[in-house]
Chain A
C-alpha cells in the first residue's frame, strides 16, 4: 500500500529566508506526487505536481519541489518566504489505481 510522510508538524522561518517542507513517500510503480496548501477555513488548493520528466517542478506562488527517486522524497521549497505563505501544507501521492493518500500536513509559519 502506498503512503506518504511529512516528518515535521511545524516549520518556522523568517520572512525572506528560504523554506523547505519535507515529504517522503512509498508507492509501488510510478509515483504521482502533489503538494496542496490549505489556508484557514478554506479548502485545499493545488500547488504543483510531479508526474514525469524534470525532477524540479515549479508551481503556484513561487513554490517548487524536487523529486528525488533514490531518496523517495518530494520536498517543497521556496527561495524567499512571505508572511502570506503561512498555512498548512499537504503532500499527497497517487498511484495508477487512482488511490490518493495525503500526508498529515505541515504547518508553516513565516514570521516578519
Chain B
C-alpha cells in the first residue's frame, strides 16, 4: 500500500497552460504539504495545510493554489505555467504536532516548454 501517492509522475506542458497535480495519503495524517525541488536539489516548502488552516510560503506566486477536497487529499493547481516552474514537486504528510516526521510522495517531474 502506497502511503503518499502523486499523479502524474511526469508532466510535460507548454507555457501558459493550467495544470494540476494530485496527492493522496492513506496514513490518516492531519497535515499535508507541497514542496518544490529545483534542479540543484534545493527543497522549498510551498504550502502546508492542516484541516482548515492553510499556511503559504510568501515567496510562492499566486499562480499556485492548493485545493483540499478532504483530509486525505491536497492537490496543487498551477495557472499560466512558466518556464521557471519546471521542477520536481513533492507532496508530503505528517501528524500533528511538530515532533512527527513527514512522509513524502514519489514526486512529479514538471517540465514546461
Contacts and interface: CB of A to CB of B under 8 A. Distances in A.
Nearest to A95: B98
A72 interface: no
A105 B97 contact: no
A100 B32 CA distance: 12
Interface residues of A, number: 24
Contacts of B18: none
A90 B43 contact: yes
Interface residues of B, number: 25
Contact of A42 (B50, B102, B103, B106): B106
Contacts of A11: none
Contacts of B96: 98
Interface of B: 4, 31, 33, 40-45, 48, 50, 55, 90, 92, 96-99, 101-107
22 contacts: A32-B98, A32-B99, A41-B107, A43-B4, A43-B90, A44-B43, A46-B103, A51-B99, A90-B43, A94-B98, A94-B99, A96-B97, A97-B98, A98-B31, A98-B55, A100-B48, A100-B98, A100-B102, A102-B45, A104-B40, A104-B41, A105-B42
